[in-house]
Amino acid sequence: MSDAEVMAEELLARASLAAAEFNQLDQAAVDRIVEAVARAALENRITLARLAWEETGKGVWQHKVLKNVVAALLVYRDIRHEKTAGVISEDAETGIIEIAQPLGPILGIIPVTNPTSTVIFKILISLKARNPIIISPHRAAVECCAAAARVCSAAALAAGAPEGCIQWITESSRELTHALMSHPRLALVLATGGPGLVRAAYSSGTPAIGVGSGNVPVFVEKSADIAFAVENIILSKTFDNGTICASEQAVVVEEETAARVRSEFERRGGYFLDPEQTVRVAAAAVRADTGLMNPAIVGQSAARIAEMAGIDVPAGTVLLLAPQEEAGEEYPLSGEILAPLLAFYVRPDFSAALKLCIDLNYRGGVGHTASIYSENESRIREFAELMNAGRIVVNTPSSQGAVGGMFNRLPVSFTLGCGAGGKNITTENITARNLINIKRVCRRRENREWVETPAEKYLNGAVGADEIMGSGNGEGGEADG
């Protein structure tokens, strides 16, 4: 066995023992553990945020504090009353009792963009579902992830959780991650990361919940409150320097209101690039060999991006906007870029703007999130019906809106499913209820609908095939079975 395989075996041996003990805990015991972990994470929110910022060099540390608050406090409030142990529902009419069953050891893969907050989130939802978790951090966030896991582990053990319920990798390597993902004792891979990593999780042979990339179009429809829309877009796109995958990537406006939208962005610190500057920024932001965003630009400020591109921008610039003609590979800034940089499009009318939003959606964000600002309900409905996105956020900052819990009642989550379009298993905001199996105790009940149908009579020889087929065309006088 390789060193990676030996380490994977040791980690999962401990996790399997923890899983056996976890399976015996009742709901009250589980809830005490989860509350203790949430409290400890919340108390350490500032220290962990600073560690994440210092180690990764991405984002804004004060914003990472808020992310830790969301991951600890809002996630806890969202899941605290969820039934995840023992009987979770009982229906006297059907005779069906539902019982929660833990999955077993989970591998939580953590991205560099939201390291400590994602660690807290995945630990909380895993423990709530009585599953041990192994934290596998991005190689550029090993220390801060270990610190977050250590805080959570100490609190969990003090509250009565089994030894080995939270483990973490201190030397991240591709070999170890793959050895863990494909290990027969692992129950689930909970993957947040780049497309290659998520594909590896799905092809590991272990059940996986992964997420697709986001390329969120935001349509400022002409009936929108423009000042409000621009304020919210900037709030969202500059939050932690754009590192949330649900952040807006392209603004689409109608010609009638384009000048007003542009003026409002400029008034609030947005800087519109000229054609030459756009080319330079695109070269800095997108790798020519892959067509994907340059990792060096992720989570950097607008001023830093301008410096990397060799252009000058006014003091106080918080957001760069690059006017674009179309969406596609020949327009590199029409794809996902996790930084305060937005593509900007003008279209003559609603239909043309909506078509472009669909094109942007399919440029790399299928199933993820789409955003619209509008006061026209029929326009909102049409946009929502045509966009292939798991979350349609309306008059809401997309980053914070898609995560849930602040501007709406979506489940609070740092893992946003993208459905079949994004090659995921679900479009849900992943939470504790996604991490349990449900056993169903089914008591014998007479199914009267079945007994009284022509199908049952046919099987009993009471009627012939002609009569049973005829009843489907209104000839038999009885309902179809």
Active-site annotation, residues: 245
Separation of CA 34 from chain center: 21
Choose among 405, 401, 58, 342: nearest CA to 215: 342
Inter-residue contact 269 to 318 (CB < 8 Å):
yes
Choose among 224, 136, 114, 218: nearest CA to 180: 136
Two tokens, residue 423: 């090659």
Q: Which residue has the tokens 């990798």?
A: 169
What is d(CA 161, CA 133) in angstroms, rounded to the nearest whole number? 12
Two tokens, residue 259: 């000048």
What is d(CA 46, CA 328) in angstroms, rounded to the nearest whole number? 40
Contacts of 154 (CB under 8 A, 6+ apart): 40
Q: Which residue has the tokens 């005490």?
A: 32
Inter-residue contact 245 to 213 (CB < 8 Å):
yes
What is d(CA 164, CA 153) in angstroms, rounded to the nearest whole number? 9
Inter-residue contact 305 to 297 (CB < 8 Å):
yes
Angle formed at CA 96 by CA 95 and CA 97, multiple of 5 degrees = 120
| b/e map 435-459, b = 16+ CB within 10 Å | bbeeeeeeeeeeeeeeeebbeebbe
Two tokens, residue 245: 């995958």
φ and ψ of 342, to 5 deg: -125, 140
Strands (E), 243-313: 248-254, 270-272
What is d(CA 91, CA 282) in angstroms, rounded to the nearest whole number? 58
Within 10 A of 310 (CB to CB), how many other CB atoms are there? 11
Choose among 271, 274, 291: nearest CA to 332: 291
What is d(CA 220, CA 224) in angstroms, rounded to the nearest whole number? 6
What is d(CA 266, CA 198) in angstroms, rounded to the nearest whole number? 38
Residue 91 pairs in a beta bridge with 96
What is d(CA 257, CA 260) in angstroms, rounded to the nearest whole number? 5
φ and ψ of 170, to 5 deg: -100, -15
